[in-house]
Amino acid sequence: MSARGRKGPPGAIGSQPSSLLLVGTLGVLSVVAGIAIVLVHGWAQPRIEAHQAAELRQAIEEVLGEPQRYETRWVVDGKLLDSLPAGVDSSAARPVYAGFAADGHMVGYAVPGQKPGYQDVVKLIFGYDPSTRKVLGMKVLESKETPGLGAKITSDSAFIHGFDGALAPIDGVKHPAQDPHQVDMITGATISSTTVITIINRSLEAVGPALGGAHGGEGP
């Protein structure tokens, strides 16, 4: 297994190979690496996107209580539109997902939102029924909060289900929540809990009026 019996690598210690050889070697390697990555990317990307779509679909179903079907709507400049108008940058529009029950009546909207939390951006989606101003459910899609503390916003079922039926705007309180606007926060995870509540309130400030229903003024 020693070096004997084969020629040493070009440019072994002592000799000085031309720069062209050095640049060429790295160039060829880079091209091969690039091609390999492109091929794998071409295979993997559709699958990654399919996973993300499936995850979103599952989250929408969860926060709207298993609607029969849902449609994507867009809120642009405070107006609810059925499709994204041409020429509007998708970053200026917010998607909401209208869920419908089997008999055709609308259950509510699933609204995605995000905001920086304790460590990184927290992304979540929540169900909202504009006719009653009630939050139907909340699910955190992405977070990197502290394991064991802030990460409970994704796993603590008492906290998560505290949002079911809560009236907007929501106020986070120390246990026990007393009126329908209040939800219990997680002990030791104040920032993460507040982040979740703030995301819901801010999202509703932004898209709530466009969704109609009992909206218009401050509070009930």
Interface residues with other proteins (CB under 8 A)? 1-3, 6-13, 17, 21-22, 25-26, 29-30, 33, 36-37, 40-41, 43-45, 47-48, 51-52, 55, 142, 144, 146-149
For residue 139, the Cα-to-chain-centroid distance in whole angstroms is: 10
**Least spacing, CB of residue 121 vs other proteins, in Å:** 12
Identify the three-state secondary structure at position 97.
strand
Q: Which residues pair with 45 in a beta bridge?
A: none
For residues 166 and 133, is the Cβ–Cβ distance under 8 A? Answer: no
**Least spacing, CB of residue 167 vs other proteins, in Å:** 32
For residues 105 and 99, is the Cβ–Cβ distance under 8 A? Answer: no
Say how many Å lie between the first and final Cα of the chain, rounded: 81
Q: Which amino acid is at 131?
A: S
Query: In terms of CB distance, is 40 or 92 closer to other proteins?
Result: 40
**Least spacing, CB of residue 189 vs other proteins, in Å:** 11
Query: In terms of CB distance, is 16 or 83 closer to other proteins?
Result: 16
**Least spacing, CB of residue 28 vs other proteins, in Å:** 9
Query: In terms of CB distance, is 10 or 220 closer to other proteins?
Result: 10
Q: Which residue has the tokens 């009546």?
A: 105
**Rounded to 10 degrees, what is the CA torsion of 48, 145, 192, 170?**
20
Give the DSSP H/E element, type plus range, for residue 173.
strand 171-173
**Least spacing, CB of residue 62 vs other proteins, in Å:** 16
Query: In terms of CB distance, is 25 or 68 closer to other proteins?
Result: 25
Query: In terms of CB distance, is 33 or 214 closer to other proteins?
Result: 33
